[in-house]
Structure 1
Amino acid sequence: MEEKKNLWSSYDEAAKKELHEINEKYKACLDAGKTERECVKLAVEMAKEAGYQDIKDVLKEGKSLKAGDKVYAVCMEKMLAMFRMGEEPLSNGMNILGAHIDSPRIDVKQNPLYESEGMAYLDTHYYGGIKKYQWVTGPMALHGVVAKKDGSVEEISIGEKESDPVFVITDLLVHLAANQMSKKASEVIEGEKLDLLIGNSPLDKAEGLDEEEKETIKANVLHILKENYGIEEEDFASAELEIVPAGKARDCGFDRSMILSYGQDDRVCAFTSLFAMLDVENAKRTGCCLLVDKEEIGSVGATGMHSRFFENTVAELVALTEGESELKVRRALANSRMLSSDVSAAYDPMFAEAFEKRSAAFFTKGLAFNKFTGSRGKSGSNDANAEYLARLRKVMDDAGVTYQFAELGKVDVGGGGTIAYIMANYGMEVIDSGVAVLSMHAPYEVSSKADVYEAVKGYRAFLLNM
């Protein structure tokens, strides 16, 4: 097979201009969407600007849907499905771009606030597969919501503005770490030691300190929370607070050819899918952009891909276009074609021993297709049909999209899963496709701007021509 050249040498000025615009928009989305809730909120705002209407409003008004109509549905503020109705009946199937918007992070527990030796902490539980030692000593931000008994919901984002405080998870100084340094990497930092340092000064008597109060540092934190956000300690029980790296997405490299940011697995595929969905008009088949939660922990729960949310939404669309029919819903799903838009591991010369070079994804080689994922014998994998791959190759070639085929590391080294196998349960054609990323699941991940650009081009081509 002919080796693909570095993409940067193939772009003319017009392409470079579009590439720059897409990547600037992508960086802005990464900054605005550091949690699944924030991603959904941002995507809905962008969808509304593009003329999409909430399906709840369509149902309430008793409208029907026709070709060209644009609707979206939200599940619990953490899962989103967008549809642009095509010229063909929905039962003929859809072209679906599906990505996940949750990323590895650290979550605050439900009884988290405590004081120890003059310091206040939040107790935590990490989310998804992480190297725990990577998450210490860096500046952290706190994002999420606190739901109160009166029905109000307080949105929290602390640590992103220059005027905000940041938080930190501490580590043992190297001078005292001889025993720690002899441990396995998985044990250097224990999960229960990933607690967030949030305070060190006591509540002043002038601010209402009870003279019998012993935990004065904790009392001061509670005073600040009450004063600024109206939050009581008991409200943590109904809160969803996520600890993520503070700071913005940044250009990486002297040549500014890459992006360094938190959460690019899998938001690099989620936002490029969203961009493509908002760009495409007048497609024959119904197009869909599906952004889901909980992939990093098995796609479980009401907002994960294993839920019935997507199927139920498709049933509503069938009823609005072709009349209620369970059989037509099944046909719509079985006749669909999907790109499970998820990242691939980029070949890293620093860790070449983990990759089989002929089957690795590389920076600047375009959209990465993974025929199969899984681990050690393709366990838990979707394995796409050859005929589907052939059709995809033609669509991408006809659209001038640069792409590559890859797998996630050497056969016996590891592997990973996506939402592909879940959607394949409906009988639809599915393959994983996405952007190659360095340092996946780390607090900061790296992507190539050229690959981000090719992803948008590839997703557009898929929506229009599959």
Structure 2
Amino acid sequence: MSSLMRPQSAIKSALKPALAAGLMASALIATLPARAADTTCPQGACDSAWKTASKDDKAQADAFGETYKAFLDKARTELLTVAAIRAEAERNGFEEWKPGTPVTPGAKYFHINRDRAMALIIGGSAPTSAGLRIVASHIDSPRLELKGRPVDEAQGFALFQTNYHGGIKTYQWTNIPLALVGRVDTKDGKTVQISIGLKGDDPILMIPDLSPHTARDQMKKNARDVVQHEDLDPIVAHGPHGEDGKFSASEWVFRFLKSNYDIEAADLVSAELSLVPAMKPRDMGLDRRLVAAYGQDDRLAAFASMMAAFDTKRLPHTTIIQFADNEESGNVNVSGASSTYLPDLVSELVYAELGEAYRQPLFTRALRASKALSIDVNPGVNPMSPSAWELTNAPRLGFGVNIKLYGRGFDANSEFIAWTRAALDDANVAWQTTTYKVGRAGGGTLGKELAKLNIDTIDFGVPLLSIHTPVAVSDKMDVLALKNAISAFISKAD
């Protein structure tokens, strides 16, 4: 029995009355299926994958976790994530797709959208015009961003003025090491890459909080008011510089940027500079089963999708693995999932296949015949606050991927959910379901953008602890299960 299969205790319990009536146990047990027909996880009726996993499966999860941590260490922003995925894709035999190139069975391509989003394309046995498999995740994460005129000075300190990207609890971003990463584009067409704080000997930046000795008034405030968004300003430099202290701290910052990067103050208007946690991804817990790292929402799904793409053999349908930008701020911008990038790419692939026979209805029929998997992580049951969930429908770390059942018109239709269940069960992938407390929580995914294209779409997730904080926590077995779930989804024939 696969290490990720659900136990058959519920089935055997149902047989006890028949056994008591005199039926032979051996005959009945012999009729049981090789795996449970339904791997849903009612409260208390199934086990963690760590309990059912073999020694080899645990070793595989550990090894996969090491690869995952190395990926997260590089992929701190969308720009860095696209660069990391491209490098890995090229190492795995993917080539850049050029418009007009037909995608043949087994062909492997990548396509990049403005350095901030991209897609992997894998040729399937069926024509592209007969429908695709699409797996979508986003590669942006909550962070701080520099304003267009970011340098300010207060009490002898040079500070960066920031805005925030995605939902954050502001107080969690104080007193942690921050790195400055991103790019600056100048009027003469030059692009300057900046990365300060990720190397062991780099300086870091930090937003200082009040000490308990002077924070009595602050500690009377509600959590959302302890630190205002406008006050998330990290220290960049301190005190006068130069001979006789002729330069203030803020003046020194501009001189530093000019000397080291040939950047003028005005160039910061055309910059994408982010402040991200500088800590390296680490194992968490003495058993090393958890990963604590920044950026797991949603680069966990991006990593699992990428690895599933590299692990494919022969696919029934051409597959697009989409890595979109800006979901944490509403999918907007030309590299976000609300743009026409994905349908444009599908249209180009269909046109490359059909040539002059291409017609717009053939493109929309290809979308209608497609199946899409939208993936985004979600909060898991937190041992410190389990009451945040209605536990019967709550996702637990280590219990596999979760099929999201939102209700209120957001779910995939029942036949597509059944199709997806069959794909997971046939591949012996551990899964569970997720429904938030009614009216008490929420979140968004890329699924609505795919459904707008008339594509059958289902939402997956992987449970995390401390989601949207500077350091989130995942379970290595879930990361591996998600990769296997994606492989099962894109490999299943209609």
TM-score category by the smaller chain? Answer: over 0.9
Q: 1:357 aligns with which of 377, 384, 391?
A: 391
What residue number does 1:456 align with? 483
Q: CA deviation at 1:325?
A: 2.5
What TM-score comes out, normalization by structure 1 length?
A: 0.93
Give yes or no for the alignment of 1:253 onto 2:257. Answer: no
Cα distance per residue 1:190-218 (max 9 Å; x no partner): 01100111100323139xx8x6xxx6211
SS of equivalent to 1:322: helix
Q: 1:240 aligns with which of 258, 261, 272?
A: 272
Q: Does 1:73 align with 2:100?
A: no
Q: Conserved in 2, the CA contact under 8 Å of 1:53 and 1:71?
A: yes
- TM-score normalised per structure 2: 0.88
**Shift of the alpha carbon at 1:328?**
1.9
Q: Distance in 1 between matches of 2:366 and 2:234?
A: 47
Q: Which residue of the partner structure matches residue 399 of structure 1? A: 427
1:432 is aligned to 2:459? yes
The equivalences for 1:27-66 within 5 A come to: 27-55=69-97, 58-59=98-99, 63-66=101-104
Aligned amino acid, residue 423 of structure 2: V
Percent of residue pairs identical? 36
**Deviation per residue, 1:267-318 (Å, 9 max, x gap):** 1111101110111121111111100011011111111111001111111111
> Which residue of structure 2 lines up, in the alignment, with residue 116 of structure 1?
154
Kept in 1: contact 2:158–2:236 (CA 8 A): yes
Verify: 1:465 aligned to 2:465, yes or no.
Answer: no
1:18 equivalent in alignment to 2:71: no
2:406 is matched with 372
SS in 2 for 1:416: coil
Structure 1 distance, partners of 2:57, 2:133, is 26
**How far is the alpha carbon of 1:63 from its aligned partner?**
4.2
Q: Deviations over 1:67-123 (max 9, x none)?
A: 221222211111111110111111221111110000001110000012222100110
Q: 1:350 aligns to what SS in structure 2?
A: coil
Contact 2:281 2:293 in 1 (8 A): yes
Total equivalences in the alignment: 449
Matches within 5 A, 1:8-407: 8-55=50-97, 58-59=98-99, 63-205=101-243, 216-323=248-355, 324-372=358-406, 378=408, 382-407=410-435
Q: Residues 120 and 199 of structure 1 are in contact (CA less than 8 Å); yes or no, is this contact kept in structure 2?
A: yes
Instruction: Specify the code of the residue in structure 2 equivalent to 1:78.
Output: R
RMSD: 1.5
Cα distance in 1 for residues equivalent to 2:225 and 2:55: 50
Deviations 1:295-350 (A, max 9, x none): 01111111111100111111111111122332222122221111111112101121
Indicate the SS of the match to 1:415: coil
Unaligned ranges ≥5, structure 1: none
In structure 2, the CA distance between the partners of 1:54 and 1:325, relative to structure 1 (3 Å rule), is farther
Quick check: 1:133–1:189 contact (8 Å CA) kept in 2?
A: yes
What are structure 2's unaligned runs of at least 5 residues? 1-40
Q: Which of residues 433, 437, 442 is equivalent to 1:410?
A: 437
Q: Which secondary structure does the structure 2 equivalent of 1:277 belong to?
A: helix
Once structures 1 and 2 are overlaid, which stretch shifts more, 112-121 or 248-257?
112-121
CA contact (8 A) 1:159 1:167 kept: yes
Aligned equivalents of 2:332, 2:102: Cα separation in 1: 32
Q: Is the 8 A contact 2:62 2:289 kept in 1?
A: no
Point out the structure with max Rg over C-alpha: 2
Deviates more, 1:63-72 or 1:332-341: 63-72
Q: Secondary structure at the match of 2:385?
A: helix
**More displaced stretch, 26-35 vs 45-54:** 45-54
